[in-house]
A and B are shown apart, each in its own frame.
Chain A
């Protein structure tokens, strides 16, 4: 078991290497395409710029060298974990992003867990009553969730739960200036998390519910299901231990493929709820035309997706004994 997981880890790490390099090159090329360069940004921030100072700045940042040299410089800086400096926020880009990373991670993991739990529950119910009325009603609900923009679901939830009922807050990630601590702080944070996580999860609930329904129905025809029935196991146990476990394999694969989309959705949801995360930072960077920050976010979130997919490969090796190292 341990050896198989170690082998899986080595294989996925080897596979991820070229992808990481490719993403870095892609990011560099996009940075080259951006209108204006770092010198322009600094000049516009400081408000004074003569042709000489601009040339000096360009020389200082190596912007007057060939594209290839610049790419090598870029790689060299990255190797030292240097993503550049943001004149706008007056701090290194990496520090800026790392400051926002926990917020995004909290929002994403909560939304993903919510989507998985609700999606798997809905999908199992739909599969158990396939073709009957619970399946039909839930199919319509799921299809609606699949079609509604997540941020709009969030806005409507704000109208209902914050404006009309007054149950949940709709702005930021904590009550500003409340100076809470201990348990009351955790409750306050959790209350602020509910609506953004629901908005981000809504689309993915539908994705997983549809997927679980299909794969649960697919699994029913397998031989091992008949064996389990012949052994006289309780139908509920058969569904839980044999059907669901096997139906979860495609779900984990798809969850891995959707991580990028989840991060993308976080841009809109974080902006909408004033959530201090990476996605909102990306949008602020666009408005400030601070492109090194924008590309830093793009780079780090891609790396995050690769890392998460490696974790999912490990999970696969654990869920499915047939996955060879």
Chain B
């Protein structure tokens, strides 16, 4: 935290909590940098049709134009004469879509399992943690490959498979939160008022247990994007959808002569994942003040 941020923080002690949070976000350079890059990719994903009209899989020019060779196609064309720029823009859509849906599925399962295990403890906890351990022992990527092999590789199957393989981390996190919060005074108070377990879990503990889960969510989206890229690279992908990993897989055949076909989509993946990791690091600084130097 910079001196300015600390002063701002001091000055706003009396201000409502919400205002201080917002200021903390604005004064965290890591978070801002991540959010700006991420915002750029979200913009590409949302307005792909408007930025690059037409089907990105159409052949538009002669194959393997290098970037800058023809200004109509500033990033060149691939071995089938498809516009690399337009493919990169549409690829943002597939990556973010799979990333966000896989992370949502993983978060949903992990939060339910972790909350139940942490809140009830005892046998429920022992049983659920066995399940967590089981999934943590199985190599995630192999499990995803197996699940995708059971069904046809479509975007929804891939998202589902990644979600099913990635929930254990969240479950562990939620469990730890619930274990420490279930003895807190406000939970005792809620219990003595005769609130039901469901109400205590959802309305009392959950909102207080969320901060580390929010940090984990951004890292989960990042990991899901990396996993999806690996799958697409191995050709386990939806043939009708342009994806960055798939572009790398296609470009690999021309690695010796036209390496830009591999380099560009990989750089796009790295930037998107980097932005999510930056957002995660920033959120961690803001939401867990203990970690501040």
Contacts of A323 in B (CB 8 A): none
CA distance A263 to B139 in the complex (A): 6
Q: Does B48 contact A (CB under 8 A)?
A: no
CA distance A289 to B131 in the complex (A): 28
Q: Does B189 contact A (CB under 8 A)?
A: no
Given known contacts A26-B138, A159-B259, A148 and B269 CB-to-CB distance under 8 angstroms: yes
Whether the pair A147, B138 counts as a contact (CB closer than 8 A) is: no
Q: Does B150 contact A (CB under 8 A)?
A: yes
Min Cβ gap B28→A in Å is 15
Whether the pair B136, A156 counts as a contact (CB closer than 8 A) is: no
Whether the pair A268, B277 counts as a contact (CB closer than 8 A) is: no
Q: Does A247 contact B (CB under 8 A)?
A: no
- Among A147, A151, A264, contact of B277 (Cβ-Cβ < 8 Å): A147
Q: Does B236 contact A (CB under 8 A)?
A: yes
Question: Closest chain B residue to A257 by CB distance?
Answer: B136
Of B61-69, B177-185, B198-206, B248-256, the segment with at least 4 beta carbons within 8 Å of chain A is B248-256
Of B38-46, B80-88, B111-119, B226-234, the segment with at least 4 beta carbons within 8 Å of chain A is B226-234
Contact with A along B130-153 (1 / 0, CB 8 A): 110110111111111111011000
Q: Does B60 contact A (CB under 8 A)?
A: no
Min Cβ gap A148→B in Å is 4
Whether the pair B234, A261 counts as a contact (CB closer than 8 A) is: no
CA distance A22 to B133 in the complex (A): 10
Q: Does A33 contact B (CB under 8 A)?
A: yes
Whether the pair A302, B137 counts as a contact (CB closer than 8 A) is: yes
Q: A interface, by DSSP: helix, strand, loop or mixed?
A: helix
Q: How many residues belonging to A are interface residues under a CB distance threshold of 8 Å?
A: 48
Taking CB atoms and an 8 Å cut-off, the chain A residues in 139-157 that contact chain B are 143-144, 146-149, 151-152, 155-156
CA distance A260 to B144 in the complex (A): 12
Whether the pair B266, A152 counts as a contact (CB closer than 8 A) is: yes
Contacts of B256 in A (CB 8 A): 163
Whether the pair A260, B140 counts as a contact (CB closer than 8 A) is: yes
Whether the pair A151, B137 counts as a contact (CB closer than 8 A) is: no
- Among A26, A147, A265, A283, contact of B273 (Cβ-Cβ < 8 Å): A147
Q: Does A298 contact B (CB under 8 A)?
A: yes
Contacts of A159 in B (CB 8 A): 255, 259, 262-263
Q: Does B270 contact A (CB under 8 A)?
A: yes
Contacts of A294 in B (CB 8 A): 145-146, 149
Contacts of B229 in A (CB 8 A): 149, 152
Contacts of B136 in A (CB 8 A): 257, 260
Whether the pair A264, B262 counts as a contact (CB closer than 8 A) is: no
Given contacts A19-B130, A35-B150, A295-B146, 4 further A-B contacts (CB under 8 A): A149-B229, A149-B269, A302-B139, A309-B137
